[in-house]
Amino acid sequence: DFVIDSMDLLETVQLGEGSFEKAHHTAVAKCPMLKSITLGPNSLRGIESSTCTAMLKDLPYLASLTCKEGCFEKSHLTIENCPHLNK
């Protein structure tokens, strides 16, 4: 699993190629200052499973989500309460 939760001062997340590639559950939540997430190829890709999830939630200043090829490929991605993120 890859979880970032309630980190009040975190502003940026950057993962390189293949980072946490087989994470079954990914969550980034309640980080009020987070502005950008950048994921290299196949980062947080997930595994073949109907229960493999990824969630971005309660990130009021997240404005940039950059995903290279393969990111979240096998996960069900949910985005909630990220008002500055253009879909």
Q: What is the pLDDT of residue 48?
A: 85
Residue 77 burial (C-beta neighbours within 10 Å; 0-12, 13-18, 19+): middle
Residue 80 C-beta-side C-alpha neighbours within 13 Å: 9
Q: Mean pLDDT, to the nearest integer, of 54-61?
A: 97
Give the residue among 48, 49, 50, 54 at the shortest CA–CA distance from 26: 54
Distance of alpha carbon 42 from alpha carbon 28, whole angstroms: 17
pLDDT classification of 87: cutoffs 50, 70, 90: low
* Contact criterion met (CB below 8 Å) for 38 and 13: yes
